[in-house]
Structure 1
Amino acid sequence: MNLITVGDDAPNFTLTDNNEQYVTLTNYRGKKVLLSWHPLAWTPVCTDQMRALETNYQTFQNLNTVPLGFSVDPTPCKKIWAEALQLKMVRILADFWPHGKVARDYGIFREQDGYSERANIIVDENGKVMWVKVYPSAQLPDINEVLNILSCNIGT
Protein backbone atom coordinates (compact mmCIF):
# COMPACT_ATOMS: atom_id res chain seq x y z
CA MET A 1 0.00 0.00 0.00
CA ASN A 2 1.47 3.30 -1.10
CA LEU A 3 0.91 6.70 0.43
CA ILE A 4 -1.28 8.87 -1.77
CA THR A 5 0.67 11.63 -3.50
CA VAL A 6 0.07 15.20 -4.59
CA GLY A 7 -1.80 15.30 -7.89
CA ASP A 8 -3.64 11.99 -7.32
CA ASP A 9 -7.41 11.87 -7.47
CA ALA A 10 -8.62 11.72 -3.87
CA PRO A 11 -10.51 8.46 -3.34
CA ASN A 12 -14.15 9.20 -2.67
CA PHE A 13 -15.79 7.94 0.51
CA THR A 14 -19.04 8.04 2.42
CA LEU A 15 -18.68 7.69 6.19
CA THR A 16 -20.82 8.53 9.20
CA ASP A 17 -19.81 11.40 11.43
CA ASN A 18 -20.19 12.11 15.13
CA ASN A 19 -23.76 13.32 14.46
CA GLU A 20 -24.62 10.00 12.75
CA GLN A 21 -24.87 11.84 9.41
CA TYR A 22 -23.34 10.64 6.17
CA VAL A 23 -20.40 12.60 4.78
CA THR A 24 -19.34 12.10 1.16
CA LEU A 25 -16.14 13.69 -0.14
CA THR A 26 -17.50 14.52 -3.60
CA ASN A 27 -20.26 16.61 -2.00
CA TYR A 28 -17.57 19.18 -1.17
CA ARG A 29 -16.45 19.88 -4.76
CA GLY A 30 -15.76 23.59 -5.08
CA LYS A 31 -14.18 23.66 -1.61
CA LYS A 32 -10.90 22.40 -0.26
CA VAL A 33 -11.17 19.60 2.28
CA LEU A 34 -8.70 18.89 5.07
CA LEU A 35 -8.67 15.20 5.95
CA SER A 36 -7.11 15.23 9.41
CA TRP A 37 -6.35 11.68 10.56
CA HIS A 38 -5.71 10.72 14.17
CA PRO A 39 -4.92 7.18 15.34
CA LEU A 40 -7.52 6.76 18.08
CA ALA A 41 -10.02 8.87 20.03
CA TRP A 42 -9.58 9.58 23.74
CA THR A 43 -5.83 10.09 23.58
CA PRO A 44 -4.15 13.42 24.46
CA VAL A 45 -2.51 14.29 21.12
CA CYS A 46 -5.61 13.25 19.17
CA THR A 47 -7.72 15.41 21.47
CA ASP A 48 -5.50 18.44 20.87
CA GLN A 49 -5.50 17.78 17.11
CA MET A 50 -9.31 17.80 16.89
CA ARG A 51 -9.63 20.79 19.21
CA ALA A 52 -7.25 22.73 16.92
CA LEU A 53 -9.64 22.09 14.02
CA GLU A 54 -12.57 23.37 16.08
CA THR A 55 -10.67 26.43 17.37
CA ASN A 56 -9.70 27.39 13.81
CA TYR A 57 -13.01 26.48 12.17
CA GLN A 58 -13.82 30.04 11.07
CA THR A 59 -10.35 30.45 9.58
CA PHE A 60 -10.91 27.26 7.58
CA GLN A 61 -14.24 28.66 6.39
CA ASN A 62 -12.51 31.89 5.33
CA LEU A 63 -10.07 29.75 3.32
CA ASN A 64 -12.93 27.91 1.55
CA THR A 65 -11.94 24.74 3.39
CA VAL A 66 -13.92 22.07 5.24
CA PRO A 67 -11.91 20.42 8.05
CA LEU A 68 -12.83 16.80 8.75
CA GLY A 69 -11.39 14.58 11.46
CA PHE A 70 -10.97 10.82 10.96
CA SER A 71 -10.11 7.68 12.86
CA VAL A 72 -11.09 4.02 12.87
CA ASP A 73 -13.18 4.41 16.02
CA PRO A 74 -16.89 3.53 15.63
CA THR A 75 -19.58 6.21 15.28
CA PRO A 76 -20.92 5.93 18.87
CA CYS A 77 -17.39 6.52 20.19
CA LYS A 78 -16.95 9.54 17.89
CA LYS A 79 -20.29 10.95 19.06
CA ILE A 80 -19.44 10.75 22.77
CA TRP A 81 -15.87 11.97 22.22
CA ALA A 82 -17.05 14.99 20.19
CA GLU A 83 -19.47 15.86 22.99
CA ALA A 84 -16.69 15.53 25.59
CA LEU A 85 -14.44 17.79 23.48
CA GLN A 86 -17.32 20.23 22.91
CA LEU A 87 -16.88 20.06 19.14
CA LYS A 88 -19.75 22.07 17.70
CA MET A 89 -18.62 22.68 14.11
CA VAL A 90 -16.00 20.09 13.14
CA ARG A 91 -17.32 16.76 11.95
CA ILE A 92 -15.29 13.72 12.97
CA LEU A 93 -15.78 10.63 10.83
CA ALA A 94 -15.72 6.94 11.67
CA ASP A 95 -13.61 4.84 9.29
CA PHE A 96 -14.77 1.84 11.26
CA TRP A 97 -16.32 -0.55 8.76
CA PRO A 98 -14.95 -1.92 6.61
CA HIS A 99 -12.26 -1.30 9.21
CA GLY A 100 -9.84 1.39 8.02
CA LYS A 101 -10.93 1.17 4.36
CA VAL A 102 -10.60 4.90 3.70
CA ALA A 103 -7.24 5.04 5.48
CA ARG A 104 -6.14 2.12 3.31
CA ASP A 105 -7.36 3.94 0.18
CA TYR A 106 -5.12 6.87 1.14
CA GLY A 107 -2.17 4.62 2.04
CA ILE A 108 -2.06 5.56 5.73
CA PHE A 109 -3.49 2.48 7.47
CA ARG A 110 -1.08 0.79 9.88
CA GLU A 111 -1.92 -2.89 9.39
CA GLN A 112 0.24 -3.96 12.34
CA ASP A 113 -1.64 -1.63 14.71
CA GLY A 114 -5.16 -1.61 13.28
CA TYR A 115 -5.40 2.17 12.96
CA SER A 116 -4.28 5.03 10.73
CA GLU A 117 -1.17 7.12 10.76
CA ARG A 118 -1.49 10.63 12.11
CA ALA A 119 -1.74 12.60 8.87
CA ASN A 120 -3.13 15.68 7.18
CA ILE A 121 -4.21 15.46 3.56
CA ILE A 122 -5.66 18.44 1.71
CA VAL A 123 -7.93 17.82 -1.26
CA ASP A 124 -8.47 20.72 -3.66
CA GLU A 125 -11.74 22.03 -5.09
CA ASN A 126 -11.55 19.54 -7.97
CA GLY A 127 -10.94 16.43 -5.89
CA LYS A 128 -7.17 16.27 -6.38
CA VAL A 129 -4.71 15.75 -3.55
CA MET A 130 -2.80 19.02 -3.08
CA TRP A 131 -0.81 18.32 0.12
CA VAL A 132 0.09 15.29 2.24
CA LYS A 133 1.96 15.09 5.52
CA VAL A 134 2.35 12.08 7.82
CA TYR A 135 3.47 12.77 11.39
CA PRO A 136 5.03 10.62 14.08
CA SER A 137 2.16 9.23 16.18
CA ALA A 138 3.17 11.24 19.26
CA GLN A 139 3.52 14.56 17.37
CA LEU A 140 0.73 17.11 17.30
CA PRO A 141 0.36 18.45 13.75
CA ASP A 142 1.15 22.16 13.49
CA ILE A 143 -2.21 23.75 12.67
CA ASN A 144 -0.44 26.92 11.53
CA GLU A 145 1.49 24.94 8.92
CA VAL A 146 -1.81 23.61 7.54
CA LEU A 147 -3.38 27.08 7.52
CA ASN A 148 -0.31 28.50 5.76
CA ILE A 149 -0.53 25.82 3.06
CA LEU A 150 -4.20 26.66 2.55
CA SER A 151 -3.49 30.41 2.52
CA CYS A 152 -0.80 30.01 -0.15
CA ASN A 153 -3.14 28.00 -2.34
CA ILE A 154 -6.21 30.24 -2.36
CA GLY A 155 -7.82 30.04 -5.75
CA THR A 156 -5.85 27.03 -6.93
Structure 2
Amino acid sequence: MAIDVGTKAPEIELKNQHGELVKLSDFRGEKNVVLLFYPFAFTGVCTGELCALRDELPAFVNDDVQLLAVSNDSPFSLRVFSEQEGLSYPLLSDFWPHGEASRAYGVFDEEKGCAVRATFIIDKEGVVRWTVVNAIPDARDLNDYVKALGEL
Protein backbone atom coordinates (compact mmCIF):
# COMPACT_ATOMS: atom_id res chain seq x y z
CA MET A 1 0.00 0.00 0.00
CA ALA A 2 1.42 3.37 -1.04
CA ILE A 3 2.18 5.90 1.68
CA ASP A 4 -0.50 8.49 2.34
CA VAL A 5 -0.72 12.21 1.73
CA GLY A 6 0.39 14.02 4.88
CA THR A 7 3.10 11.43 5.59
CA LYS A 8 6.72 12.49 5.98
CA ALA A 9 8.44 11.22 2.83
CA PRO A 10 10.88 8.37 3.51
CA GLU A 11 14.47 9.34 2.79
CA ILE A 12 16.00 7.78 -0.28
CA GLU A 13 19.62 7.75 -1.38
CA LEU A 14 20.08 6.37 -4.88
CA LYS A 15 22.64 6.66 -7.67
CA ASN A 16 21.64 8.51 -10.80
CA GLN A 17 22.45 7.57 -14.38
CA HIS A 18 25.93 9.09 -13.95
CA GLY A 19 26.75 7.14 -10.77
CA GLU A 20 26.27 10.17 -8.50
CA LEU A 21 24.47 9.75 -5.18
CA VAL A 22 21.22 11.73 -4.97
CA LYS A 23 19.35 12.12 -1.68
CA LEU A 24 15.78 13.29 -1.31
CA SER A 25 16.93 15.38 1.65
CA ASP A 26 19.26 17.33 -0.68
CA PHE A 27 16.17 19.30 -1.76
CA ARG A 28 14.59 19.87 1.67
CA GLY A 29 13.98 23.54 2.35
CA GLU A 30 14.92 24.35 -1.26
CA LYS A 31 12.53 22.68 -3.72
CA ASN A 32 9.33 20.70 -3.97
CA VAL A 33 10.04 17.25 -5.43
CA VAL A 34 8.11 15.26 -8.01
CA LEU A 35 9.18 11.72 -7.12
CA LEU A 36 8.12 9.46 -9.95
CA PHE A 37 8.40 5.67 -9.85
CA TYR A 38 8.19 3.72 -13.12
CA PRO A 39 8.67 0.01 -13.86
CA PHE A 40 11.52 -0.18 -16.39
CA ALA A 41 13.49 1.86 -18.91
CA PHE A 42 13.16 1.02 -22.61
CA THR A 43 9.52 -0.05 -22.32
CA GLY A 44 6.73 1.63 -24.27
CA VAL A 45 4.60 3.35 -21.64
CA CYS A 46 7.60 4.30 -19.47
CA THR A 47 9.47 5.80 -22.42
CA GLY A 48 6.34 7.74 -23.39
CA GLU A 49 5.86 9.14 -19.89
CA LEU A 50 9.50 10.09 -19.41
CA CYS A 51 9.75 11.72 -22.84
CA ALA A 52 6.55 13.69 -22.12
CA LEU A 53 8.22 14.99 -18.95
CA ARG A 54 11.33 15.86 -20.99
CA ASP A 55 9.16 17.83 -23.40
CA GLU A 56 7.57 19.81 -20.54
CA LEU A 57 10.71 19.98 -18.40
CA PRO A 58 10.51 23.66 -17.33
CA ALA A 59 7.35 22.77 -15.37
CA PHE A 60 9.17 20.00 -13.48
CA VAL A 61 12.76 21.21 -13.10
CA ASN A 62 13.07 24.86 -12.09
CA ASP A 63 13.93 27.07 -9.12
CA ASP A 64 10.98 25.65 -7.15
CA VAL A 65 10.65 22.02 -8.35
CA GLN A 66 12.92 19.02 -8.89
CA LEU A 67 11.89 15.90 -10.79
CA LEU A 68 13.39 12.58 -9.67
CA ALA A 69 12.48 9.49 -11.70
CA VAL A 70 13.10 6.11 -10.03
CA SER A 71 13.16 2.63 -11.58
CA ASN A 72 14.57 -0.75 -10.69
CA ASP A 73 17.05 -0.64 -13.58
CA SER A 74 20.82 -0.53 -13.06
CA PRO A 75 22.55 2.86 -13.32
CA PHE A 76 24.29 1.61 -16.48
CA SER A 77 20.98 0.89 -18.21
CA LEU A 78 19.63 4.27 -17.09
CA ARG A 79 22.64 6.06 -18.56
CA VAL A 80 22.09 4.51 -21.99
CA PHE A 81 18.34 5.16 -21.72
CA SER A 82 18.86 8.83 -20.77
CA GLU A 83 21.32 9.35 -23.63
CA GLN A 84 19.10 7.60 -26.15
CA GLU A 85 15.99 9.60 -25.18
CA GLY A 86 17.66 12.92 -24.31
CA LEU A 87 16.59 12.82 -20.65
CA SER A 88 18.59 15.40 -18.70
CA TYR A 89 16.85 15.06 -15.34
CA PRO A 90 17.96 12.53 -12.69
CA LEU A 91 17.06 8.90 -13.36
CA LEU A 92 17.63 7.09 -10.08
CA SER A 93 18.45 3.41 -9.80
CA ASP A 94 16.55 1.38 -7.20
CA PHE A 95 18.44 -1.69 -8.43
CA TRP A 96 20.33 -2.74 -5.31
CA PRO A 97 19.22 -3.46 -2.69
CA HIS A 98 16.55 -4.32 -5.25
CA GLY A 99 13.42 -2.21 -4.78
CA GLU A 100 14.39 -0.75 -1.39
CA ALA A 101 13.15 2.77 -2.20
CA SER A 102 10.05 1.46 -4.01
CA ARG A 103 9.21 -0.66 -0.96
CA ALA A 104 9.69 2.34 1.38
CA TYR A 105 6.98 4.15 -0.59
CA GLY A 106 4.75 1.06 -0.78
CA VAL A 107 4.88 0.81 -4.57
CA PHE A 108 7.01 -2.29 -5.25
CA ASP A 109 5.21 -5.15 -7.01
CA GLU A 110 6.80 -8.27 -5.48
CA GLU A 111 5.34 -10.54 -8.14
CA LYS A 112 6.71 -8.53 -11.07
CA GLY A 113 9.93 -7.42 -9.36
CA CYS A 114 9.51 -3.73 -10.15
CA ALA A 115 7.79 -0.54 -9.06
CA VAL A 116 4.27 0.22 -10.19
CA ARG A 117 3.54 3.64 -11.75
CA ALA A 118 3.40 5.98 -8.78
CA THR A 119 4.09 9.67 -8.30
CA PHE A 120 4.53 11.54 -5.04
CA ILE A 121 4.70 15.32 -4.82
CA ILE A 122 6.74 16.21 -1.76
CA ASP A 123 6.82 19.75 -0.39
CA LYS A 124 9.89 21.66 0.73
CA GLU A 125 9.43 20.39 4.29
CA GLY A 126 9.57 16.76 3.14
CA VAL A 127 5.85 15.99 3.47
CA VAL A 128 3.90 14.11 0.80
CA ARG A 129 1.21 16.50 -0.50
CA TRP A 130 -0.20 14.58 -3.49
CA THR A 131 -0.01 11.06 -4.91
CA VAL A 132 -1.20 8.98 -7.80
CA VAL A 133 -0.70 5.23 -8.14
CA ASN A 134 -1.56 3.47 -11.38
CA ALA A 135 -1.36 -0.13 -12.48
CA ILE A 136 1.76 -0.93 -14.51
CA PRO A 137 0.07 -0.63 -17.94
CA ASP A 138 -1.69 2.68 -17.19
CA ALA A 139 0.11 5.95 -18.00
CA ARG A 140 -0.27 8.97 -15.74
CA ASP A 141 -1.48 12.44 -16.78
CA LEU A 142 1.21 15.14 -16.47
CA ASN A 143 -1.47 17.82 -16.20
CA ASP A 144 -2.39 16.36 -12.80
CA TYR A 145 1.20 17.00 -11.61
CA VAL A 146 1.12 20.59 -12.83
CA LYS A 147 -2.19 21.20 -11.05
CA ALA A 148 -0.94 19.63 -7.79
CA LEU A 149 2.29 21.67 -7.89
CA GLY A 150 0.24 24.82 -8.44
CA GLU A 151 -1.67 24.11 -5.22
CA LEU A 152 1.45 23.96 -3.02
Q: If the TM-score is normalised by the length of the shorter chain, which range does it land in?
A: over 0.9
Contact kept, 8 Å, 2:34 with 2:68, in 1: the verdict is yes
Distance 1:93 1:52 in 2: 18
**TM-score when scaled to structure 1?**
0.92
Q: What is the alpha-carbon distance in structure 1 between the residues aligned to residue 24 and residue 93 of structure 2? A: 14
Q: What is the aligned-residue RMSD (CA, Å)?
A: 1.2
CA apart distance, 1:61: 3.7
Check if 1:107 corresponds to 2:106: yes
Q: Structure 2 length as normaliser, TM-score? A: 0.95
Deviation beyond 4 Å, 4+ runs, structure 1: none
The answer on whether the counterparts of 1:63 and 1:151 sit within 8 Å (CA) in structure 2 is no
Structure 1 match to 2:15? 16
Deviation sequence 1:92-125 (CA, Å, 0-9, x none): 1000010000000000000111001111111110
Question: Residue 26 of structure 1: CA displacement?
Answer: 0.3
In structure 2, how many angstroms separate the alpha carbons of the residues matched to 1:61 and 1:107? 25
Q: Is the 8 A contact 1:63 1:150 kept in 2?
A: no
Please list the CA deviations of residues 30-76 of structure 1 after superposition, one character each: whole Å capped at 9, or x if unmatched. Answer: 21101111111110110011112222221224571101111000100
The one-character-per-residue Cα deviations of 1:74-99 (angstroms, maximum 9, x if unpaired) are 100000001111112x1110000100
Paired position in structure 1 for 2:96: 97
| 3-state SS, counterpart of residue 134 of structure 1 | strand
SS at match of 2:36: strand
Indicate if the aligned counterparts of 1:18 and 1:75 stay in contact, CA closer than 8 A: yes
What runs of 5+ residues in structure 1 fail to find an aligned partner? none
Identity %: 34
Indicate how the Cα distance of structure 1 residues 86 and 61 shifts in structure 2: closer, same or farther if over 3 A, else same: closer
What letter matches 2:52 in structure 1? A
> Secondary structure in 2 aligned to 1:81?
helix
For 2:134, the equivalent position in structure 1 comes to 135
CA contact (8 A) 1:7 1:128 kept: yes
